[in-house]
Amino acid sequence: MGIGRVQETMEGVNDAFKKAHIPLPLPTATTVTDKNRREAGEQMVMKLNGDRMKQILSQVAKDEYDLRVNDLYDFCFGDFYTRSGLSLKDRELMVFGAIAALGGCEAQLRSHIGANLREGTTKAQLVDALRVMLPYLGFPRTLNAMNQVTQLTKDSK
């Protein structure tokens, strides 16, 4: 992941759009400004995670707060989660897949599995998403993600 891959991918997407006669640039999907992105991001985090997240964030050390909280609010949830174009449920399912692909991010994966479930994504849909991604994830990452799904859904049978 990272900007290098995004750049190459966007060039391919733009080429496909041009061939399909889709005018570029696309309309902006941005819904926040520099002045309200933190507040919008915080609202999104609380919507997805509620009181559980408040408890976690209350334990963050002051010298780590900017990175662990403010950057998360501003950048991840303020700039990206508030964008138009995808439902929150669809966005969460995509994030689940991306984090599963990274591997080694179990705490974040669990958080986004929980958010998926709260947004109405079923265990079957999460499992199907992993099955679709298996050729890209490989078995170790797929099975690790599946273990997290199983753990978080075992009480909801």
CATH at 149 = 1.20.1290.10
Show pLDDT as tens, one digit a residue, over the chain (157 residues). Answer: 567 778 888 999 999 999 999 999 999 999 999 999 999 999 999 999 888 888 888 899 999 999 999 999 999 999 999 999 999 999 999 999 999 999 999 999 999 999 999 999 999 999 999 999 999 999 999 999 999 999 999 976 5
> Residue 28: which domain range?
22-85
pTM higher than 0.85: yes
- Are 80 and 60 spatial neighbours (Cβ–Cβ below 8 Å)? no
- Residues 119, 152: one domain? yes
- Residues 80, 93: one domain? no
Domain count along the chain:
2
How many of the other CB atoms lie within 10 Å of CB of 149?
A: 21
- Residues 30, 81: one domain? yes
- Residues 96, 109: one domain? yes
First to last CA, the chain: 34
- Are 12 and 50 spatial neighbours (Cβ–Cβ below 8 Å)? no
Last residue within a domain, chosen from 85, 102, 124: 85
Domain-located, residue 116: yes
- Residues 112, 94: one domain? yes
- Residues 59, 122: one domain? no
Q: What is the pLDDT of residue 7?
A: 85
Domain-located, residue 28: yes
- Residues 121, 145: one domain? yes
Nearest to 144 by CA among 94, 86, 95, 102: 102
Q: What is the pLDDT of residue 130?
A: 98
Nearest to 93 by CA among 9, 149, 32: 149
Last residue within a domain, chosen from 68, 85, 102: 85
3-state helix, strand, coil in the chain (%, to 5): 75, 0, 25
Domain-located, residue 50: yes
- Residues 95, 140: one domain? yes
Chain centroid to Cα 110, Å, comes to 12
What is the sign of the dihedral through the CA atoms of 59, 64, 66 and 71? negative
Q: Distance (Å, rounded) from C-alpha 89 to C-alpha 86?
A: 8
Q: What is the pLDDT of residue 157?
A: 54
- Residues 76, 140: one domain? no
- Are 146 and 130 spatial neighbours (Cβ–Cβ below 8 Å)? yes
- Residues 106, 80: one domain? no
- Residues 109, 149: one domain? yes
What's the Cα-to-Cα distance from 125 to each of 31, 89, 91, 116, 140, rounded to whole Å? 29, 11, 14, 10, 20
